[in-house]
Chains A and B, each alone.
Chain A
Amino acid sequence: MPASLFPPYEDLLRILPEIVLTIAGTLVMVLEPALRPERKRLLGGIAIAGLLVALWGTAVANLFRGPAFHQMVVVDGFATFFRALVIVVGILAVLCSIHYLQRERPDSGEYYALVLFSVVGQSVMAAANELIMIFIGLEISSIATYVLAGYLRDDRRNNESAIKYFLLGSFATAFLLYGIAWIYGAAGTTNLVEIRRVLSTPELAPPRFLVGVSAALMFVGFAFKVSAAPFQVWAPDVYQGAPAPVTAFMSAGPKAAAFAIFLRVYMTAFEPISNRWEPVVWLSALATMFVGNFAALLQNNIKRLLAYSSIAHAGYVMVAVSAHSEIGTAAAMFYLAAYAFMNVGAFAVVTHFARQGEKYVDVDDLAGLGHRQPVTAALFSIFLLSLIGIPLTGGFFGKFYIFKAALEAKLYWLTVIGLLNSAVAAYYYLRILVVMYFHEPGEAAQTVSPVAPGVKIALWASAAGTLLLGIFPSVILDFADRSAALMK
């Protein structure tokens, strides 16, 4: 008997990225107290190395597709896609952070460990095949992110951000957990495929009321994490208050992972009751787009503006979810990848430009950046144009595929409203471009320093990703398509 207790060798390979990331994070924690402040950037290097190895581990795990650890996790194309995505976001975030941390809080290197642990959680979420694993992944990711949001603990805005995120996040997670309890009570299992089987077998099907309540409670938890209306209220305050590189990270990675579990739970477990959750997602998508885009119109703080924009983009992805089809899922996946690049890129510019104590974070501060640092401004323009959805950028194809999926699902009104919303969105992104290129350089632009090497790499990589997805969309889309088709 004892020999059989050991998990099969393949199972360990299937969670290789998580193992690698955990070891790297632990290594950072052990080394951290031993390093002098000026050498803490070494930890950033370790983090990047760990993430790169984890990326390789993702590819290795992808060779051993299938369930592992008694169906608790599953490696399929969908999992690989999101694992790779959150790891890449992690790399970009660390690149943005090295210089920022040296400037703002040189004495402390746990930051990198927290990023790694958060990525571990997201990676677990990507591969989770079971509600408890989903919950654990979500908590690992969230707790690390709560701490990151308040990392500069002497900064009042950081504190505000962290405490709000923590309290509201825990509140929402409670809903999720409660929903898990209900479905376990109703279906007698937490395995997504099993739940689906139970729900779609008439003899076994539990009362619809119980399933409905469970789906609703879990929706609250997921919608909160992806900042979809009406659970988006936390996002602007938290994004604005957190350190800029952390905002870059948490608006891309955890959001993508949350959408991953959202899609997996609703496309797999709750698939048999899709006619009941579709209207809810529909309404939420609608409200999310409106709230995000229209509130962004009036913002002058770039971080807050991008926070609302992030809400709006969650709304577009919700459109893809409510299409409830394979191509909808693929479109959501593609969009999240494109969004990760363009959003992290935009926040990288903010990180670079904000300077000591995040002094310059208003749109007007950017005046004349186009003259002072044409390359940075040009890269920023790429990200903004992609956020608008101009062709040749990933944002364009993302929107294109989402609305195509929506049309094929006969969601005509949602498509029309979504398109109108993206027209509104063009206004506030273009305003940044106008300020950057057509206003006289102000104090902020005149004192701007050269871009730090890490941020520079992150900027170019994000721009390359954004353009790659815009020019050769099929590279990613093909993979997403195949993964979405295989998910069931």
Chain B
Amino acid sequence: MPEGYVPFFIFVAAAVGFVLTMLLVAKILRPSSPFATKLEAYECGIRAATTARGRYAVRYYIIAILFVIFDVETVFLFPWAVRYKVLGWFGVVEVAVFLAILIVGYIWAYKKGALEWV
């Protein structure tokens, strides 16, 4: 085994050891008195209506995906906007291609009725 990786493994061992040590110390020090309300998902006292593993409408999923897509779009636009002058025409063309693809996707989703909440 090459010597160059020795620090890496020491680091890994230290990381794992630290977590284990901490958990162990906490276990020893803390008082233990569990009761039902304390073990609920929302400890503040609001009862969970159903289990978290239940079904939910697929529309949430679609909306979420669309959100993420346009969210990421902005993330990509931001650095371009910041370095607009440096990137020049090249940046404009690249962003235009990028936006064109996204807009086609948007049109398609719109036409398919993905944005309507039925």
Contact = CB atoms under 8 A, between A and B. Distances in A.
B11 interface: no
A2 B90 contact: yes
A29 B111 CA distance: 11
A475 interface: no
A2 B87 contact: yes
Contacts, number: 28
A26 B104 CA distance: 7
A22 B8 CA distance: 44
Contact of A29 (B88, B89, B108): B108
A33 B88 contact: no
B99 to A, nearest CB: 13
Contacts of A9: none
Contacts of B101: 26
Contacts of A33: 108, 111-112
A34 B112 CA distance: 10
A5 B88 contact: yes
A1 B86 contact: yes
A18 interface: no
Contacts of A2: 86-90
B1 interface: yes
A34 to B, nearest CB: 7
A30 B108 contact: yes
Given A26-B101, A207-B2, A209-B1, A5 B87 contact: yes
A271 interface: no
B107 interface: yes
A26 B86 CA distance: 31
| A1, A29, A207, A209 — most chain B CB neighbours (10 Å) | A29
A248 B111 CA distance: 31
Interface residues of B, number: 16
Interface residues of A, number: 12
Interface string A188-223: 000000000000000000010100000000000000
Contact of A34 (B1, B88, B105, B111): B111
Interface string A322-347: 00000000000000000000000000
A165 to B, nearest CB: 20
Contact of B104 (A5, A30, A209): A30
B90 A29 contact: no
A29 B104 contact: yes
B107 to A, nearest CB: 6
Contact of B108 (A32, A207, A209): A32
Contacts of B91: 5
A5 B94 CA distance: 11
Nearest to A29: B108
B13 to A, nearest CB: 19
A207 B6 CA distance: 13
Nearest to B93: A6
A2 B91 CA distance: 9
Contacts of A32: 108
A6 B1 contact: no
Nearest to A7: B90
A261 B62 CA distance: 34
Nearest to B101: A26
Interface in B92-118: 93, 101, 104-105, 107-108, 111-112
Given A207-B2, A209-B1, A30 B107 contact: yes
Nearest to A30: B104
A209 B111 CA distance: 54
Nearest to A27: B104
B79 to A, nearest CB: 14
Interface string A4-33: 011000000000000000000010011011
A68 to B, nearest CB: 16
A404 to B, nearest CB: 42
A29 B107 CA distance: 9
B90 A5 contact: yes
Contacts of B108: 29-30, 32-33
A387 B15 CA distance: 56
Contacts of A1: 86
A32 B1 CA distance: 58
Contacts of B86: 1-2
Contacts of B88: 2, 5
Contacts of B107: 30
Nearest to A2: B88
B80 to A, nearest CB: 12
Nearest to B113: A33
Interface string B62-91: 000000000000000000000000111111
Interface string A30-58: 10111000000000000000000000000
Nearest to B111: A33
Interface in A309-363: none
Interface string B16-60: 000000000000000000000000000000000000000000000
A32 B112 CA distance: 9
8 contacts: A2-B86, A30-B104, A30-B107, A30-B108, A32-B108, A33-B108, A33-B111, A209-B1
Give the 6 A-B residue pairs with the shortest CB-CB distance, closest first: A33-B111, A2-B88, A5-B90, A207-B2, A29-B108, A26-B104
Interface of A: 1-2, 5-6, 26, 29-30, 32-34, 207, 209
Given A26-B101, A33-B111, 20 more contacts: A2-B86, A2-B87, A2-B89, A2-B90, A5-B87, A5-B88, A5-B90, A5-B91, A6-B90, A26-B104, A29-B104, A30-B104, A30-B107, A30-B108, A32-B108, A33-B108, A33-B112, A34-B111, A207-B1, A209-B1
